[in-house]
Amino acid sequence: MKRINKLIKGIASAVLMTVMLCGCSDIGFGDQSMLRPPRATGDQAAMQQIISEEAAGSYTLKYPQKGEFRSAVNIFEDSDGTEYAAALYSTDNDSRMHVTIMVHDKDKEKDKWRSLGSCSNSGTGVDRIIYRDITSDGKGEFLIGWSGYNPGVNNLVVYSLYSDTVREMVIDEPYTDFVIADITGDKTDDIMLLSLRNNQSPSTATLFQYSEQDKRPISKFALVLDSEVTEFNSVVSGKIDKKTTGIVIDGENALEQNSTQVIYYDKKEKKLVDPLLTETDSGQNKNVTLRKEVITARDIDGDGIIEVPVISEMAAPKDIKAGNVCSCTAWKQINTEDGSLITRMNTVYNYNDSYYFILPERWASNVTALSDSENRLLTFYVWSNNTLTLGDKLLEIHRYNRSEWDRMDQGDYMMLYTVNNKGREFIIAAQIFKTKQKGMESLNLEKSELEENVKLI
């Protein structure tokens, strides 16, 4: 559905301005402020009046804790130009959460907001609110995640606008996170609920689709996730190849190790799959992306497709301290035909100094890197796979304090970036070296290549 979501600052900002102008002091500030202000004007006044009538007493605005829309009152616009608003609040009359959904009648004779109805929920707060068309009727639905007493355990309710009234569709499965996207490729948005493990069940991903027969979203596909993951750090939907939309989850386990899971719908097998998660002979989960580094999947090369990071230690002589040997982060795309991984880019990250270097393709397996954290130095060398020894130096990347840089003989160093951190200025600079090792001359780096391949984190 072609739609426009329009987020307004909501009643709270209008109320705050009115209170400031009128000197009223009986309103508390913050996310749980009680709405008892002098009347606002325009849309805000009309909405405020509707909420007051629906609440039948004093009420407290409730603000979503996650997602794009964080106001207690959000306005959304359908493809036909009709505006709808959802107000989130609790009342002094009971302990439940409430939502009032309103429509804007734009008829010249009655240009006003009116209520379509209110619904209540036993949750303790609002996780997030989304407005999407999951029924393929050309009109959006309000999807509200209500938070519960247990952290990370929420329930999702879909509010559909049917014959100018609000119809409530409860999804009877708790979630930790959820995503709305067209996963199955049928041109209609699906609901993907993600749940971390508990005492009764493992971590799961469950895909819900709206059923015209049942008049509600029903569970269609499910997949067991990596139950070693104890926290979701990032959950996004996006293209994982040119044709396939997937859900990409970056999470952390109890040992503070990070990993990526990618869920997509296999049209041939007609099921959800995650090619990154495999099972060993002992029955344990194995994920090739498991890493200690806090780094998340992303579109690293700007081609519109999400890559996942696979990290491995680079080659080095045995007498080099392990802490000085750099790791190579290979950014890989998933081949959805067979679940294999295709390397799109290799990088070396310097987290302490906030930059990374993109390895030229010709450097693969022929170059290694050592880090000297004390001197803020990253050095790349020719690597001999035959003798397992370091060869000529190819590149140094150094971080200097501004004062160091200004008074030093800069020589052949090229300044790449000026970085400000907590009021201090640093210089990221590099020096290129040339090798004359037989057969290795092609590894030499050009200045234009250097400038292109060093990126700030």
Q: What is the pLDDT of residue 108?
A: 62
What number is the average pLDDT over the span 76-93?
93
> Quick one: what percent of the chain has pLDDT higher than 90?
78
Q: Which region among 19-28, 273-282, 293-302, 411-420 has the lowest average model confidence (pLDDT)?
A: 19-28
Q: What is the pLDDT of residue 183?
A: 98
Q: Model confidence over 370-382: pLDDT tens digits?
A: 999 999 999 999 9
Q: What is the pLDDT of residue 123?
A: 94
Confidence of residue 251 (pLDDT cuts 50, 70, 90): very high
Residue that has been written with the tokens 């150094």 in this structure = 398
Q: Model confidence over 30-65: pLDDT tens digits?
A: 333 333 333 455 788 899 999 999 999 899 999 999
- Is residue 243 packed enough to be buried (19+ CB in 10 Å), middle (13-18) or exposed (0-12)? exposed
Q: Is the pLDDT of residue 5 over 60?
A: no
Rounded to an integer, what distance in angstroms lies between the CA atom of residue 355 and that of residue 148?
40
pTM, rounded to two decimals: 0.85
Q: Model confidence over 101-120: pLDDT tens digits?
A: 999 988 766 778 999 999 99
Q: Is the pLDDT of residue 389 over 90?
A: yes
Helix (H) or strand (E) holding 27, with range, is none
Helices (H), 250-354: none
Residue that has been written with the tokens 């994982």 in this structure = 240
DSSP-derived secondary structure for 406-438: HHS--TT-EEEEEEEETTEEEEEEEEE-----T
DSSP-derived secondary structure for 72-116: SEEEEE-TTS-EEEEEEEEESS-S-EEEEEEEEE--TT--EEEEE
Are the C-beta atoms of 355 and 376 separated by less than 8 Å?
no
Q: Model confidence over 285-312: pLDDT tens digits?
A: 789 999 999 999 999 999 999 999 999 9
Confidence of residue 284 (pLDDT cuts 50, 70, 90): low
- Rounded mean pLDDT of the chain? 89
What number is the average pLDDT over the span 123-138?
95
Are the C-beta atoms of 101 and 88 separated by less than 8 Å?
no
- Is residue 109 packed enough to be buried (19+ CB in 10 Å), middle (13-18) or exposed (0-12)? exposed
Q: Model confidence over 201-234: pLDDT tens digits?
A: 999 999 999 999 999 999 999 999 999 999 999 9
Which residues sit opposite 252 in a β-bridge? 231, 258
Residue 108 gets the label, from left (phi > 0), alpha (psi -120 to 50) or beta, of: alpha
Q: Model confidence over 189-199: pLDDT tens digits?
A: 999 999 999 88
> Quick one: what percent of the chain has pLDDT higher than 70?
89
The dihedral through the CA atoms of 175, 177, 179, 185 has a sign that is negative
Confidence of residue 321 (pLDDT cuts 50, 70, 90): confident
DSSP-derived secondary structure for 222-258: EEE--TTEEEEEEEEEEESSSS-EEEEEEEEETTS-E
Q: Is the pLDDT of residue 390 over 80?
A: yes
Q: Model confidence over 258-279: pLDDT tens digits?
A: 999 999 999 999 999 999 998 7
Radius of gyration of the chain (CA): 28
Residue that has been written with the tokens 């049942």 in this structure = 214
